[in-house]
Structure 1
Amino acid sequence: MASNLPAPEGTEIQEPPTAGAWGEWNPTEDSVRSVRGKHRVARQRGGLARSSTVLGVGVIAAVGAGGIATAQDRPQVAISMPDLPDMPDLPTMTQVLDGDFSADHGSAADARHAGAQAGKTGIIPQQAGRGADAGEVLLSRILQQAESQQDAAGAKALADTAQAAQAAAAQEAKAKLDAAQKAADDAKAAAEAKAAAEAKAAEEAAAAKAEQERVAKSAGNYSLPTSAYTLTSHYGVAGSMWSSGYHTGLDFAAPTGTPVKAVAAGKITSAGWSGAYGYRIVLELEDGTEVWYCHLSSMSVTSGSVGAGDTIGRVGATGNVTGPHLHLEVREGGSTVDPLAWLTSKGLNV
């Protein structure tokens, strides 16, 4: 097919001779050889440059495809792109086609075979092999980094769990220590309260025992003046029956002849008739207190020392009386006191 494109600049076009003038024109190598010198057309390499670019893009695509195809089933992990290993220098397409390269890259036939394969696939065989290796290296780096990050995350989670467990254990130990301290304080307070209660109880028991001993001692040293009696007139009762205007003693009404006893140890200082008192015995105790026994029917002891509970006379109705009874008077320092209160203070149950 004829072309309408203009001839390249600097090229002389020889017109073929017409059939009539020259006969049949049969171009030869010399007739079509370009004019030498400044009109020589330089070899255009734009197509090869573009082919090299295409090959480079193909290599990168192969490397990336090798990594993506293998890692597409892996879980997504944040990664950083590692440095690719250094690639050795590869022959250019021109060297492959012309067979112009050193023995390191193989023979010319191998180069031409590689060029043929590159023309079919767009990738040089050496580059394809190295691209696959680089993809495996990249994939291995990615997986190693993912595993490292997962291990780091697991270690951090384990450390957080251990720290939380340690904090919980410390809090539990503190709670147990506080509970033990509180229990110890409560036990101490209870023990102190119990000891105080026991001490108070012991003190009260001792006081009660002392009082019992005092009462027993008093009861042992003192005695009621008579038995089988009835109290009829108490100390201080007013009336015209008594010369002083009030009753100065305590009356124990009892049958005539009922024994009369010394209330405590002492000595008899007086015994005999005493006017309105009838027969009377005066007993002086060791502390100087005088006890008068009046209206007696008889006197068993009229002098000397006697002991508590000794019989010293008998109940009668002598003197100014309305019936048989014992009129008992107690005098301290020459003055009368209430016989009932005095006997009670000595531990006697009147």
Structure 2
Amino acid sequence: MASNRPAPQAVYIPNDDDFGTYDDDSFEEWNPTEDSVRPVRGRHRVHKKGGGGLARSSTVLGVGVIAAVGAGGIATAQDGKPPVSISMPDLPGMDTVADSLPAAKSLPGVGSLISDDASDSTATAAAAAPLTAAGVSTADAEQGTTDAGEALRARIMRQAENQQNQADTAVRTAAEDAAVKKAAGEAAAQQEAATKDAKAKAAAKKKKEEEARKAKAEAARLAKLAKSYAIPTSSYTLTSHFGDSGAMWSSGHHTGLDFAAPTGTPLKAVHTGTVKEAGWAGAYGYRTVLELEDGTEVWYCHQSSLNVSAGQKVTTGEVIGRVGATGNVTGPHLHMEVHTPDGTGIDPLGWLQGKGLNP
């Protein structure tokens, strides 16, 4: 079941007629104590219950007025509006009410806010300062700024300048770090390139030295080998080479190496071996087949005469016959062929060079 709330009582506002005549007994004496009065923090007002009566300390009222005017001054400094003028009318009988109130200094938490010391420079400066100076810090005052709006503008400008300086410092630091990083990267790349170049040069030098060593060793081997091998004749001219093509050869290409020389020029054994054949061989004329120790066969063809017979042992440089023009020839020369142990014919010039000989 809902219930109707009582209507609020109208607030009693005294007028000038009410204060025309009054009885001193209509006011109670107010004796606040430390327990009944809380410390003053921010804006406070004391309200006495009953009768719609109003009692305020003149000092507290003055503080409220100053606060209001100060707020108006701050608003003026911040918004650029003219300060608001506040006036309080003198109410009849307020002097008697003020006399019945205790001193503001005796109120707990209020007395510490009020000082009678005339030598207090801070209080004196604050009282003498204009209301528009509210919000001006000590640092602003030292710089000669007394207007709150100007002080706020100056602080905002200083803050903006500090932020800009920090931003510039950050950009400069980032640029320096990037430059250092780039320089380090370039130095590292140059170092790496130099290292690779040095390694490549070292490898090339090592390879060259290795090749020189191998060439020297091969030259020594061939020199030693050449002492055990000999060129088959002397006073000669190389005419036809292995693989030359022509109709004069039955196979269509030349199968040996021709040493053109006068008839009767001595023919020598190229290496120690055994005479496998010695006699007439048709188109080859008189031919001697010398078998070496590794099974290689060396053929001496178109000889004018033979100095050895089959089965005979010969040594390097020993004369085994003479240059002639027997068989299918166009003039006196030695037709020399070389066959591997399986019977394959190979280039005699390359074979001689492999033995350290340069015909």
When normalised by structure 2's length, the TM-score is: 0.45
Q: Greater helix share, 1 or 2?
A: 1
When normalised by structure 1's length, the TM-score is: 0.46
Structure with bigger gyration radius: 1
